[in-house]
């Protein structure tokens, strides 16, 4: 079903009118998409921290952290249950958020391999990033509960496409971050 959602979201984005002014002002999923963007913004600092730490040890940076990811899924499932959100949906949403974050990390690290001069040399502090991720995760759950009707509606992909396209038209981000945003957004609809 996620593949269908991704296809629908991508199609909706591709078929959106060329005139950016056609974006409707009533986009109830904008706040949720803004939170997804805020969470994705942490990927750059996480990638930099992993890159520098691995370089200091002379090893390849590890992007996947199954133990930490499992902690996030379990914690969000518990918090989601308190908001009467289905566990499978909560796990789907956060799987999408984590995979999107890793997409950015992989893309940045690949860029740094080919352009070492662009690679970070000073470690980014993960201690300042985790509180942001934790706060945003809770706010995402709040938005899932608040926007449940829109996120379970048959036109969810179209509604999300409007909000995602709204981010694209701001000129914010690059192709890597835009692709990651689509990856994260597609996990938000529940059918």
pLDDT tens digits, 147-167: 999 999 999 999 999 999 999
Asked if residue 86 has pLDDT above 70, the reply is: yes
- Residue among 6, 184, 1, 3 nearest 99 (CA): 184
Return the half-sphere exposure (C-beta side, CA atoms, 13 A cut-off) of residue 97: 30
**How many angstroms separate the CA atoms of 127 and 45, rounded?**
10
Q: Check residues 142 and 13 and name the one with the higher pLDDT.
A: 142
How does DSSP assign the chain, residue by residue? -HHHHHHHHHHHHHTS-S-GGGS-S--TTHHHHHHHHHHHHHHHHHHHHHHHHHHHHTSPPP---HHHHHHHHHHHHHHHHHTT--HHHHHHHHHHHHHHHHHHHHHHHHHHHH-GGGS--S---HHHHHHHHHHHHHHHHHHHHHTHHHHHSTTHHHHHHHHHHHHHTTT-S-HHHHHHHHHHHHTS---
Q: What is the pLDDT of residue 21?
A: 38
Over residues 170-191, mean pLDDT: 92
Q: What is the pLDDT of residue 7?
A: 53
What pLDDT, in 10s, does the model give residues 19-41?
A: 333 334 468 899 999 999 999 99
Contact between residue 61 and residue 51 where contact means Cβ atoms under 8 Å apart: yes
Mean pLDDT of the chain: 88
Q: What is the pLDDT of residue 26?
A: 63
Q: With both helix axes pointing from N to C terminus, report the angle between 156-168 and 175-186 in degrees, rounded to the nearest 10.
A: 160
Q: What is the pLDDT of residue 27?
A: 84
What's the pTM value of the predicted model, to 2 decimals? Answer: 0.85
Burial of 162 (0-12, 13-18, 19+ CB in 10 A): buried
Pick the CATH number of 2-12+29-186 from 1.20.59.10, 1.10.3720.10, 3.10.20.340, 3.30.70.20: 1.20.59.10
With vertex at residue 16, the alpha carbon angle to CA 94 and CA 42, rounded to the nearest 5 degrees, is 30
Q: What is the pLDDT of residue 9?
A: 56
């Amino acid at each position: 079903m996620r593949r269908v959602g991704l296809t629908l979201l991508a199609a909706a984005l591709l078929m959106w009118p060329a005139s950016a002014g056609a974006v409707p002002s009533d986009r109830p999923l904008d706040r949720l998409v803004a939170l997804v963007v805020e969470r994705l913004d942490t990927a750059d600092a996480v990638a930099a921290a992993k890159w520098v730490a691995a370089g200091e040890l002379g090893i390849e940076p590890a992007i996947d952290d199954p133990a930490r990811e499992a902690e996030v899924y379990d914690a969000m499932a518990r918090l989601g249950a308190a908001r009467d959100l289905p566990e499978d949906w909560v796990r789907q949403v956060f799987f999408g958020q984590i995979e999107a974050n890793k997409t950015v990390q992989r893309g940045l690290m690949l860029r740094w391999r080919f352009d070492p001069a662009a690679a970070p040399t000073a470690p980014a502090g993960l201690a300042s990033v985790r509180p942001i991720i934790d706060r945003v995760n809770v706010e995402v759950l709040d938005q899932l509960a608040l926007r449940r009707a829109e996120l379970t509606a048959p036109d969810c992909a179209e509604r999300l496409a409007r909000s995602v396209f709204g981010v694209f038209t701001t000129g914010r981000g690059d192709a890597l971050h835009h692709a990651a945003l689509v990856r994260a957004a597609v996990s938000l609809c529940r059918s």
